[in-house]
Amino acid sequence: MSLDFSLRWYFAAGLVATVFGHYVTRGILLLYQGQPAGQDDGLRRAGTVIGILERLFTVTLVMIGQPAAVAILFAAKSIVRFNDARAARPFAEYYLIGTLTSILFALLAALAVLRCAARLG
């Protein structure tokens, strides 16, 4: 596979994971409307940016053949949020639903694009 071809598939997977993944994750989190208990405002729209970066990292790791490294990404994010999650169960559940939805969508998008790339040649 040429570098140009690989970059096009990577771009396709990244686009699907970040754009569509944002709306899928957001839609699922809307089921849990409102700010979780014990949560301060934090940075404006930080969750959106973190989710986009999370999906881009996930797609990148899958596309370079390192899907197991996604566990490191999840662990790092969980360490940062440990105190918040421990303090408020509703926040912990909200955090897990959002993170797992985001990572799952990115994994599925990357795997689908890899499969398409393998079939098309």
pLDDT tens digits for range 14-72: 888 888 888 888 888 777 666 554 455 666 777 888 888 899 999 999 988 899 999 99
Q: Which residue range forms the structural domain that includes residue 94?
A: 3-120
Amino acid type, 28: I
pLDDT at 10 over 70: yes
Torsion of CA 47, 50, 52, 57, to 10 degrees: -160
Contacts of 103 (CB under 8 A, 6+ apart): 54, 55, 58, 70, 73, 74
User: Whole-model pTM?
Assistant: 0.74
End-to-end CA distance of the chain: 8
